[in-house]
């Protein structure tokens, strides 16, 4: 469990988003035993008990599944490796991986995939600096990817909104200039 006093703001913000989602659906995510609500639980440093851990895993698993579904809906012309190859052909040197993306990467993510994403972010930031991109294209792509997913129930809409917020938190962190 991350010590809250030293946790980055983005981690605290993501915890708060997940907790609010869980609190909004108490019939699916029973309240924690150590606090009256998931929001209160997220604000404390106590580790979850076994039951709370299972419920948290259920919520985060659904969020991860929603994020992966949105990734699958990302337009096929949004290919990071192809963009990097084209930039190299056009004379841009092999870009260094963006440190913000490297810092955000999950420890269980593929090193090759993370490196590609980090170099693509470097390319994108360079394009923004040069005026070749506006800076909102990634946000628009994410919005479009999540909008393409079916949300036929209030629960599904809340799940997709929470997953999108979590992705946007990381994107906003990655977009910060060094």
User: 89-135, pLDDT tens digit by residue?
Assistant: 766 667 788 888 888 887 777 888 888 788 888 888 888 888 877 88
Per-residue pLDDT, 111 = 84
User: 32-56, pLDDT tens digit by residue?
Assistant: 998 999 999 999 888 899 999 999 9
A 10 A CB-CB count for 43 gives 14
Q: Across the chain, which distance is largest between two alpha carbons, in Å?
A: 59
The percent of residues in the chain predicted with pLDDT above 90, rounded, is: 46
Q: Which of 53-57, 70-74, 81-85, 94-98 has the highest mean pLDDT?
A: 53-57
Rounded distance between C-alpha atoms, residue 20 and residue 80, angstroms: 33
Q: Which two tokens stand for residue 61?
A: 């698993």
- 64: CB partners within 8 A, 6+ apart: none
* 30 in Cβ contact with 171 (< 8 Å): no
* 14 in Cβ contact with 104 (< 8 Å): no
Q: What are the distances in angstroms from CA 129 to CA 67, 123, 175?
A: 28, 10, 12
Residue/partner pairs of 19-27 with CB below 8 Å, 24 or more apart: 20/162, 21/59, 21/63, 21/158, 21/159, 21/162, 22/55, 22/59, 24/158, 25/155, 25/158
């Amino acid at each position: 469990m991350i010590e809250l006093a030293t946790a980055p703001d983005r981690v605290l913000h993501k915890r708060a988003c997940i907790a609010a989602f869980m609190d909004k659906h108490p019939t699916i995510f029973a309240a924690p035993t150590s606090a009256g609500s998931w929001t209160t639980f997220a604000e404390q440093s106590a580790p979850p008990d076994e039951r709370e851990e299972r419920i948290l895993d259920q919520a985060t698993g659904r969020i991860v599944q929603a994020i992966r579904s949105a990734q699958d809906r990302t337009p096929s012309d949004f290919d990071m490796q192809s963009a990097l190859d084209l930039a190299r052909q056009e004379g841009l040197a092999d870009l260094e991986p963006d440190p913000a993306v490297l810092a955000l990467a999950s420890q269980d993510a593929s090193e090759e995939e993370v490196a590609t994403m980090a170099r693509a972010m470097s390319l994108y930031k360079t394009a923004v600096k040069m005026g070749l991109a506006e800076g909102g294209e990634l946000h628009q792509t994410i919005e479009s990817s999540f909008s393409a997913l079916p949300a036929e129930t209030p629960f599904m809409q809340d799940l997709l909104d929470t997953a999108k917020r979590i992705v946007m938190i990381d994107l906003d962190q990655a977009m910060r200039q060094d």
